[in-house]
A and B are shown apart, each in its own frame.
Chain A
Amino acid sequence: MLFFYHFGRYLMLLKRCFVRPEKYAMYSKELFRQMTQIGVGSLGIISVMSLFIGGVTAVQFTYQLQDSLVPMWWIGYIVRDSMILELAPTFSSLLLAGKVGSNISSELGSMRISEQIDALEIMGISTPGYLVGPKVLASMIVFPMLIIFAVFFGIYGGYMAGISIQAVSSEEYIRGLQDNLAPFNVRIMFLKSVTFAFIISSISCYQGYFVSGGALDIGKASTRAVVFSSIVVIISNFIIAALLL
């Protein structure tokens, strides 16, 4: 029963997000602030993570292909498709669930506890519209961009690793990258990144928006935001793969 209570309240919150703004200029200002915070603020960690994931993928496939008849230029092909289809969208989203999700949840939670949300309500502002809407929208715009970066950094990481362990030459790796790129895979990547962005931001907003109590409860809400959004991301990742691949 508790699940249905929270799910119903979550849907009601989402419904209240999409209202006519009191002033478009203020909403777009908030949207750009959120995009900067989520996007620029996460670029560093996404780059580092992707660089090493690409590297590890290259090293592991080199190990597995060593005594096989599969040509080594395939490493470029495998790293590229692994990054596009799975590693960049899923790993990046799980990382962002930790960073962005907890940030959103604690920001809204602090605003709730310190009565800032009440202050906005008293002014006649729709707080789901002004506080939740821009965060969800900003995530859905910025996550795909971050994941494109993750793909590029991952591929570059694979290149650096492949060259450094002398598993593949530069030309071979590039040949693998250019081989048989399926646009459908890229579409799946975008679908995953937008879906995961919506899941992470909306669940985190829900957890933060309805916090009650004190500082301890803000921490608990942040933890719930990260745990629940990570679980839902993994489940929806499977559903997308099962339905579309």
Chain B
Amino acid sequence: MIEVKHISKSFGEQKVLEDISATFEAGHTNLVIGRSGSGKTVFIKCMVGLLEADQGEILYDGRDFIKMQRDEKKEIRKEFGMLFQGNALFDSLTVEENVRFPLDMFSTINSKEKKKRVDEVLHQVNLEGAHIKYPAEISGGMKKRVGIARAIVLGPKYLFCDEPNSGLDPKTAIIIDDLIRQLTVDLNITTIVNTHDMNSVMGIGDKVIFLHQGRKHWQGSSKEILHTDNEELNNFIFASKFLKELKKGALG
């Protein structure tokens, strides 16, 4: 479980996050949604320590991340897995080497066991047969899967996904969403997904937090989101003409 208490972050005079508190349960997919520039990425970067929050607490199963020393942070990060918006795969390594990298760096198991573990996670993300390909040789959806495989290969307790569907066609996006959902439940990990994709919200949003102008404006489940009277959230969800018409039809 991750608890975030009163997190704030500014860049100079500009306040990007203001007093955000939330609780993210294990075994659930927790979605952070909001418009571009609402502070979603800064929020997730503060949570993993790529940016330092100005104030507040981030508790990983009770352990205060912000108060930790550099070495302690390094240790707890071994429990993190992260899928980046641009995948952040290592260009000079093959798919297999990318996935094996965390094992090579931190694991003490022998190479036969490493190979077995890499095969296992590549099977979990439906990516058998791509071992020797380089990131430049595979599609966007496959890159996302390699990113997920690398994020889960060490068996993380916390999984962070920054815009996992960006640049993907709707069908592939659903496959990636389902994969994230399935891994969250199967491995009982705490997953936080940054997104502005409404398909993801409706498909896998066990808990949804809506950020607007750096503040938490709403929180609830994907079922509750359709019936909310929060004006900003409604403007965000029903921004497209198609969804507006659909809502009108449903209400009519």
Contacts and interface: CB of A to CB of B under 8 A. Distances in A.
B248 to A, nearest CB: 40
Contacts of A114: 86, 88, 91
A121 B76 CA distance: 12
Interface string B69-110: 000001111101010111011110000000001101110000
Contact of B105 (A22, A110, A122): A22
A179 interface: no
Contact of A122 (B82, B90, B101, B106): B82
B102 A123 contact: yes
Contacts of B90: 116
Task: Give chain B's interface residue range (CB within 8 Å of chain A).
Answer: 20 to 34
A203 to B, nearest CB: 23
A23 B104 contact: yes
A22 B105 CA distance: 7
B250 interface: no
B239 interface: no
Given A23-B105, A26-B105, A121 B88 contact: no
Interface string B156-186: 0000100000000000000000000000000
A120 to B, nearest CB: 9
A95 interface: no
Task: Give chain A's interface residue range (CB within 8 Å of chain B).
Answer: 10 to 19
A26 B90 CA distance: 15
Contact of B82 (A23, A116, A119): A119
By CB atoms of chain B within 10 A, which of A116, A124, A126 has the most? A124
A115 B106 contact: no
Interface in A87-145: 110, 114-116, 118-119, 121-126
B251 interface: no
A121 B50 contact: yes
Interface in A16-30: 22-23, 25-26
B16 to A, nearest CB: 16
A124 B158 CA distance: 14
B26 interface: no
B106 A22 contact: yes
Contact of B84 (A25, A26, A110, A119): A119
Nearest to B76: A124
B48 A115 contact: no
A115 B85 CA distance: 9
B104 A115 contact: no
B104 A118 contact: no
Contact of B77 (A26, A110, A115, A121): A121
A47 to B, nearest CB: 26
A118 B82 CA distance: 10
A122 B50 contact: yes
B93 to A, nearest CB: 10
A114 B77 CA distance: 20
Contact of B78 (A116, A118, A123): A123
A23 B88 contact: no
A223 to B, nearest CB: 22
A31 to B, nearest CB: 15
By CB atoms of chain B within 10 A, which of A114, A116, A123 has the most? A123
Contacts of B102: 123
A118 B74 contact: no
A28 B222 CA distance: 49
Contacts of B86: 114-115
A141 B223 CA distance: 62
A118 B50 contact: yes
A214 to B, nearest CB: 12
Q: Which 6 A-B pairs have the closest CB atoms?
A: A124-B77, A119-B88, A115-B88, A124-B74, A122-B82, A124-B78
25 contacts: A22-B105, A22-B106, A23-B104, A23-B105, A23-B106, A26-B104, A110-B91, A114-B88, A114-B91, A115-B85, A115-B86, A115-B88, A116-B89, A116-B90, A116-B91, A119-B84, A121-B49, A123-B80, A123-B102, A123-B106, A124-B74, A124-B75, A124-B76, A124-B77, A124-B106
